[in-house]
Amino acid sequence: MSESAGLFVAPPDAETQWLAFEERVRQEAAFFDATAPIAGARAPGRLDVMGGVADYSGSIVLEMPIGESACVAWQWREDRVIRIRTLGAEGRDLEAVFSLDDLIDDANRMRPVEEVRTRLCAEPATRWAAYVAGCYYVLLAAYSKVSQGQVDSRLGEQGANVLLASEVPLGAGVSSSAAIEVATMQALTEASGVHPSDLTLAAWCQRVENHVVGAPCGIMDQVTSALGAANALTVLRCQPHDLIGTQEIPAGWRFVGIDSRVKHSVGGSAYTKARVGAFMGLKVIQLESGGKLLDNYLCNMSPEEFLAYRDLIPDTLSGADYTALYGLLPDTITRVDPSQTYRPRDCAEHPILENERAKHLFALMQIAVIRQTEDVVLGVSPEPDRTILTEAGRLMYEAHASYSDRLDLGSPETDILVELVREAGPAQGLYGAKITGGGAGGTVAVLCTDSPAAEIALREICGIYTHRTGITPRTFVGSSPGAIAFGARPIPRG
């Protein structure tokens, strides 16, 4: 098999991945206590088909759980040590050691989250482990004896051995952090005998990322990783996490991710500026409208309503001038930097238009499935409707342009991939493409047909991209169930 052909081989299915992880756990016998039980969980990354950086503004988002996943094994210790080991991260095994005392003070009270963030994230070499240890802190805040909850007595008293293995690439824009958080939280709650609702588990994971790690993400990643269904899109209204359901991918359609290998970060300055800019725009609307609060979600305003306020929102505005003119930012996660210059008008307009694109794409997919179901009833082989595919692709191209034009979250490499898809076009089974997630690099989502011609075209695109940039891309071509559907599991020692 050629290297380009190998790019389009889906990873092993979820059960096969899990069996391989169980075997790795057994091989790590020296890491675990000889007798204490081990609980485990698996959670996938996600491909952002539509919604992206509009989730924090209350948009509808459409997300597909990918085949790659993170697996976590959790075992209680008799002491207060929290020992976390990751297998194969960036080609090598890593280990971090914390203490329960990093989470709880001498008076057996929760430490302030800012102090915990400093303790867990102070060392760059072990900052990755904050996504794991942060889950323990968030669960303690909700349930342990420290907060007078009635649960497993080990919470707040004992440390743990935690083993992590993730195939979700870091910095690729497919939410490696959410996969780690969700797998960890599900393994921990299973080990603790705590059974939160599915959406509560996802919200706790978002809290880890927002407050403990300090990355200002929305909630779409955690919900998709936890509640996603294989070969379907999670449809979520992020207000804060209103799960509409799952949308079947129509027959003959295919969503593929091509990783540019340009690393992005949700905690990066460009993403943070885009989010702050959006909330600046929201604050201007709230004040200029005389009280149209919109429940703090820009996406509760239609594009037509927004036009009445658009020109009242400054095109550019320094952080210092914003604070002087408008006061506090209506966002609990980010802060205005007085030395930065923001683009509140464009950053506010993007999520409102993105919400409309997401609703439109959702409707198109529903129509496509209904028509195909009618074809089956009539005894006709269901075929993808090229008109619907073309319209869906147009929405993706529009979303991609908005990342760059309005949010400054594009990148030359992802632009190359999108333009190569556009040039190949419907004649080769390629209909649309867009940068995903937090942008500024990472992965491009491609809408294509499930056909040999489309796969050949995608291989050629990857080859051209490598020739132009010197970078070998990576692809995401499979889908798998979220953590809830897969279920937490005890890990036998064999």
Instruction: Cite the active site residues.
Output: 221
CA 352, 358, 364, 367 torsion-angle sign: negative
Q: How many whole angstroms separate alpha carbon 53 and alpha carbon 348?
A: 11
Task: Tell me the CB-side half-sphere exposure of residue 330, using CA atoms within 13 A.
Answer: 19
Reported residue count of the chain is 494
